[in-house]
A and B are shown apart, each in its own frame.
Chain A
């Protein structure tokens, strides 16, 4: 446990210090959402209707932006070799790294959502519905993205490839995330899509670390 705590603490520290990636994701999210009203035009009804989808797309792209450094940074400076040689199971170490990444760059997106909801003419209920679905869904984006990030290590300079690999896998999360938010706004039943979203997150917690660890073990050279 000390080892995993140390890994999470280190990754958080690096992300929050100068040159770390924590703020980049939120700033990108902010930019994408702020640009939308300019692109769509001042039609408030349309903005309200598109709001949840825009927030979800923004969050998905923002979480991809910082994912490619998840393992490549450790690979480039040799830390990954030592992590593999450590006495901690590699699967758990991968899960700890993903958790740290989510805390540093996923959670801020959820926190920023209420502010950005104002720009999209979403009322308090809608905004909190979107924030809740993002809270349940962004961990899935990180843990699925982790698989792509581990493959990017093997393939060198795989930043763009990461997006191509991860985006199709995140489609279910996007569908049910937006569906649950829309359901809450239109008064349809919120439970079923939200439960499926949570289930997707839980599945990714299991599959992500194993797939990433397998890919890292295979890809060391």
Chain B
């Protein structure tokens, strides 16, 4: 499996954010997108996720599942964590498992791998920022998708959480997964750096 982008240009609100961006990542590889605030890291991730169309250039995936589009094989973990405060932790997770479909593992098991098993029946509205992030990570574990697009994934995680997530990412990569993560700090895994910046 090979994810690649050629000559990507991003224009947001009439202003060019970046242009001429090329990247490539293969199975088992992690790409760390780095750059200053506003340099277009999130935009790039959303373009790969299919949520934003590149102004120029193209993004393609070779060797994935032939009947699914790139965005249907990807997980997107954004700033907003797609949790409903009125639903309990386990209900939130079960909904995404049923809605996103495909190969899925036990929701309880992924909750215990992110250290949230004690809060399974608590409404998600009572979770702290770090716990919400852990619940989003549990979503990545429950539903099996080979490409992970992570936007500042370790924000709000404590030290133990960061190392827990690094282990989970390593497991994902070892299974032949692929990670593209926007980050300011260290992800805790070996990742190739992809600097994003305006050329002009």
Given contacts A79-B82, A85-B74, A88-B99, 6 further A-B contacts (CB under 8 A): A6-B99, A13-B87, A81-B78, A82-B100, A85-B50, A88-B101
Q: How far is the CA of A221 from the CA of B78 in the complex (A)?
A: 13
Min CB–CB distance A216 → chain B (angstroms): 11
- Could you say which of B74, B79, B86, B98 contacts A20, with CB atoms under 8 Å apart? B86
CA distance A120 to B12 in the complex (A): 55
Give A67-90 as 1s and 0s: 1 = Cβ < 8 Å from B's Cβ atoms: 000000000111101111111100
A86 touches B72 (CB 8 A): yes
- Is the CB of B159 closer than 8 A to any CB of chain A? no
A41 at the binding interface (Cβ < 8 Å): no
- Interface contact A77-B82, CB-CB below 8 Å: yes
Q: Closest approach, in angstroms, between the C-beta of B75 and any C-beta of chain A?
A: 8
Question: When the two chains form the complex, which single residue of A7, A14, A77, A220 contacts B80, counting CB atoms closer than 8 Å?
Answer: A77
User: In the complex the two chains form, what is the Cα distance from A85 to B77 in whole Å?
Assistant: 12
Residues B76 and A7 in contact, CB atoms below 8 Å apart? no
Query: DSSP class of A's interface residues: helix, strand, loop or mixed?
Result: helix
Question: Contact between B99 and A86 (Cβ–Cβ < 8 Å)?
Answer: yes
B residues contacting A by CB (< 8 A) are: 49-52, 68, 71-72, 74, 76, 78-87, 91, 94-96, 98-102
Contact A14 B74 (CB under 8 A): no
Contact B78 A18 (CB under 8 A): no
A binding-site residues for B, Cβ under 8 Å:
2-3, 5-7, 9-10, 13-14, 17-20, 76-79, 81-88, 220-221
User: Which one of B51, B85, B102 contacts A87 once the chains associate, using CB atoms below 8 Å?
Assistant: B102
The answer to whether B84 touches A10, judged by C-beta atoms less than 8 angstroms apart, is: yes
Closest to A17 in B: B86
A81 touches B51 (CB 8 A): yes
Whole-angstrom CA separation of A77 from B86 in the bound complex:
13
Return chain B residues, CB-CB under 8 Å to A6.
94-95, 98-99
CB of B51 within 8 A of CB of A85, answer yes
List 8 A-B pairs, minimum CB-CB distance, nearest first.
A78-B80, A6-B98, A78-B82, A79-B82, A17-B86, A85-B71, A10-B95, A3-B99
Contacts of A86 in B (CB 8 A): 72, 99-101
Cβ–Cβ < 8 Å partners of B50 in chain A: 84-85
CA distance A43 to B125 in the complex (A): 50
CB B39 to nearest CB in A, in angstroms, measures: 17
Interchain CB contact under 8 A, A220 and B83: no
Determine how close the nearest CB of chain B comes to the CB of A104; give it in whole angstroms: 13
Which of A7, A18, A79, A84 interacts with B51 by CB under 8 Å?
A: A84
Query: Which residues of the other chain, B, contact A5 by a CB distance below 8 angstroms?
Result: 98
With a cutoff of 8 Å between Cβ atoms, the chain A residues found around residue B49 in the complex are 81, 85
Nearest residue in A to B95 (C-beta to C-beta)?
A: A10
Instruction: Tell me if B51 and A220 are in contact (CB < 8 A).
Output: yes
A220 engages B82 (CB within 8 Å): no
Q: How far is the CA of A220 from the CA of B82 in the complex (A)?
A: 15
23 A-B pairs within 8 Å (CB atoms) are namely: A2-B101, A6-B95, A6-B98, A10-B87, A10-B99, A20-B86, A77-B82, A78-B80, A81-B49, A81-B51, A81-B80, A81-B82, A82-B82, A82-B96, A82-B100, A85-B71, A85-B76, A87-B68, A87-B72, A87-B102, A88-B99, A88-B101, A220-B51
